[in-house]
């Protein structure tokens, strides 16, 4: 929340920035703090189906229902002007939550998202623990699969660093781009030489993302 440097930009636009933890914490699940790929710090913005995760890991419901309703109840937020964006696993979350809840979000962007989790080690590990062996839930929480199936987003902005160590094995950006082209999903995909997966990358281009959201949310308002 702090390293991206987005607060000044949000103030300029009159936006409220809402950020949540990436997973439940201190649930009592054995070993939850020992594996950042599926335990504390993970979550993958989905509602887990299997024990022991089922009782606590309800990140999709939390973001799209509980937190959403709390923000509208206690803050002067406009439900017709809400965008969503994230980085890495959070980028995956932004994509699937917008694809699965098209009436909630009027703008979407992502930094280095896990764009096809069913096809990469991170996603396969998470889905197998939260959902079990490959099943319908996998494709329903995979942005690449949802776009291929005909789901649509507003014009999507993605920034990707070409020195990202996870680009080749985990992110599947090229495959996602091809799927968007085939499905005629509007996509602005920018590849950047010399940038990796870090917050320096995000802080460099965060202003472009706020401008992207402003352009779409202004249209939805008027």
Question: What CATH number does the domain containing 134 carry?
Answer: 3.40.50.1820
Domain membership of residue 1 (yes or no) is: no
Question: Could you give the C-alpha distances from 174 to 42, 96, 108, 160, 190, in angstroms and in order?
Answer: 24, 18, 19, 10, 11
- Residue 88 falls in the annotated catalytic set: yes
**Residue linked to tokens 């940038």:** 195
Q: Check residue 215 and give its pLDDT.
A: 95
Domain membership of residue 211 (yes or no) is: yes
- Residue 212 falls in the annotated catalytic set: no
Domain membership of residue 113 (yes or no) is: yes
Pick from 179, 109, 114: nearest CA to 147: 179
Give the total number of structural domains in the chain: 1
Domain membership of residue 90 (yes or no) is: yes
Task: Out of 87, 92, 129, 197, pick the active-site residue.
Answer: 197
- Residue 164 falls in the annotated catalytic set: yes
Task: Out of 40, 109, 164, 213, pick the active-site residue.
Answer: 164
Q: Check residue 51 and give its pLDDT.
A: 94
Domain membership of residue 180 (yes or no) is: yes
* CA atoms of 48 and 44, how far apart (whole Å): 9
Instruction: Provide the residue-wise pLDDT of the chain in tens; the chain has 222 residues.
Output: 777 778 888 998 899 999 988 888 988 888 888 888 898 888 999 999 999 999 999 999 999 999 999 999 999 999 999 999 999 999 999 999 999 999 999 999 999 999 999 999 999 999 999 999 999 999 999 999 999 999 999 999 999 999 999 999 999 999 999 999 999 999 999 999 999 999 999 999 999 999 999 999 987 554
Q: Check residue 118 and give its pLDDT.
A: 97
Domain membership of residue 196 (yes or no) is: yes
Q: Check residue 220 and give its pLDDT.
A: 57
Q: Check residue 59 and give its pLDDT.
A: 95
Domain membership of residue 181 (yes or no) is: yes
Task: Out of 23, 40, 88, 109, pick the active-site residue.
Answer: 88
Please check whether residue 106 is in contact with residue 154, taking contact to mean a CB–CB distance below 8 angstroms: yes
Pick from 200, 130, 128: nearest CA to 163: 200
* CA atoms of 192 and 181, how far apart (whole Å): 20
Residue 90 domain boundaries: 7-221
Domain membership of residue 2 (yes or no) is: no
């Amino acid at each position: 929340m702090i390293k991206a440097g987005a607060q000044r930009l949000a103030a300029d636009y009159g936006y409220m920035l809402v950020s949540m933890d990436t997973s439940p914490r201190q649930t009592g699940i054995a070993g939850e703090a020992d594996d950042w790929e599926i335990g504390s710090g993970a979550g993958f913005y989905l509602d887990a189906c299997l024990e022991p995760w089922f009782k606590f890991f309800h990140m999709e419901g939390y973001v799209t229902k509980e937190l959403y309703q709390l923000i509208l109840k206690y803050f002067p937020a406009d439900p017709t002007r809400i965008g969503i964006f994230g980085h890495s696993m959070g980028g995956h979350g932004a994509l699937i939550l917008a694809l699965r809840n098209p009436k909630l979000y009027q703008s979407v962007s992502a930094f280095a998202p896990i764009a096809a989790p069913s096809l990469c080690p991170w996603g396969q590990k998470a889905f197998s623990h939260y959902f079990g062996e490959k099943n319908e839930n996998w494709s329903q929480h995979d942005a690449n699969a949802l776009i291929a199936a005909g789901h649509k987003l507003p014009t999507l902005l993605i920034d990707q660093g070409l020195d990202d160590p996870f680009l080749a094995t985990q992110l599947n950006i090229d495959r996602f781009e091809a799927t968007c082209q085939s499905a005629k999903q509007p996509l602005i995909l920018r590849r950047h030489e010399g940038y990796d997966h870090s917050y320096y990358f995000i802080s460099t281009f965060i202003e472009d993302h706020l401008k992207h959201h402003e352009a779409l949310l202004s249209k939805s308002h008027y």
